[in-house]
Amino acid sequence: GMMYLEERRLVHRDLAARNVLVKSPNHVKITDFGLARLLEGDEKEYNADGGKMPIKWMALECIHYRKFTHQSDVWSYGVTIWELMTFGGKPYDGIPTREIPDLLEKGERLPQPPICTIDVYMVMVKWLAKKRNGEGWMIDADSRPKFKELAAEFSRMARDPQRYLVIQGDDRMKLPSPNDSKFFQNLLDEEDLEEMTDAEEYLVPQAFNIPPPIYTSRGRMDANRVRSNYIPLFILFMRDKIMYM
């Protein structure tokens, strides 16, 4: 899905497990395009005009300079994969959002999920590659893999999943049918959805006292989500700890 968006020059800017809907183990949809931007002509990046953003899912260049590219989406994709591999764990849980930039600059990474082999984990942390510049170590966006490369890598791993993921008692449990309206209604009734996403996870990047760059204005994409017959991925995590995509 993200490879398709990259081919169409659409930068999502808010990729996270909460914005993935699941219909079946092999049928998912990326949603919430309220922050998405379409790159025009020769544009290679989008410079945002402030606003609240999901800091813990953002690349460092997004936080500091509000610069968004397909490669910053790759960063968010890495965090999203970490959410899947931890069955809905919160990235940087317990760490105040305002401390995230310093944490990233020091080279801190999300820990290796227990179910992941080192092969999978190394793919997940490719987006945190560094290069040396005149002012010290900085995270290098150009060294991150393209979505086409990630799709090929994960497709290869999917042919032999037990070699790359170690899940106790995993026998490809079946997802309950989201077409069952009674099931979906019970799911919504039982869960407290108001606290699913902490308000602190969305902060204004300019709060970090970084001068705003020059940017071009552009209308927002339609933020409406098509949710019929789909279950938000994070709800599945909260209920049954089901990971499949």
56 CB-near residues (< 8 Å, 6+ apart): 79, 90, 91, 92, 97, 100, 201
List b or e across 150-182, with b for residues whose CB sees 16 or more CB atoms inside 10 angstroms: bbeeeeebeeeeeebbeeeeeeeeeeeebeeee
80 CB-near residues (< 8 Å, 6+ apart): 15, 16, 17, 20, 57
CA distance linking residue 135 with residue 127, whole number of Å? 20
The SS3 of residue 240 is helix
Closest CA to 150 of 130, 124, 171: 124
- Catalytic annotation on 189? no
User: What single-letter DSSP state applies at residue 59?
Assistant: -
Do residues 28 and 20 touch, judged by C-beta distance below 8 A? yes
- HSE of 235 in the Cβ direction (CA atoms, 13 Å)? 23
Annotated catalytic residue: which of 14, 93, 180, 240? 14
Strand partners, 72: none
CB neighbourhood size of 200 (10 A)? 11
Q: CA angle, corner 150, sides to 147 and 154, nearest 5?
A: 140
- Mind telling me the catalytic residues? 14
